[in-house]
Structure 1
Amino acid sequence: MHTGSKGWYVKELKERGVTKYEGKKLEKFKKHFLANLLDSKK
């Protein structure tokens, strides 16, 4: 998995305990949204 790919963001968020956002699985969201969510969780 490449650093900065959508799968990488999903993996990083799951390691931080985030599996869903507003009732939706992380895999449903676009990469730029996941990047912003990860920044807010750091």
Structure 2
Amino acid sequence: MYIGSKGWFVSELKKIGVSYHEGRKIESYDASTLANLLESKKN
């Protein structure tokens, strides 16, 4: 899995306990949305 890929963002979000966002599984979002979500959750 490459750093910055969709799978990487999903695994990083799951490490911090995020599996759903706005009632949808995080796997259903694209990589750019996941990148923004990860950045907002880290801050």
TM-score, normalised relative to structure 2:
0.94
What is the aligned-residue RMSD (CA, Å)?
A: 0.4
Which ranges of structure 2 fall in alignment gaps of 5 or more residues?
none
- The ranges of structure 1 where at least 4 consecutive aligned residues each deviate by more than 4 angstroms after the TM superposition are none
User: Residues of 2 paired with 1:14 and 1:34: CA distance?
Assistant: 11
TM-score, normalised relative to structure 1:
0.96
Q: Percent identity?
A: 57
Which ranges of structure 1 fall in alignment gaps of 5 or more residues?
none
How many residue pairs are counted as aligned between the two chains? 42
Is 1:5 matched with 2:5?
A: yes
Is 1:18 matched with 2:15?
A: no
- C-alpha distance after superposition, 1:1-42 (max 9, x if no partner): 100000000000000000000110001001000000000011
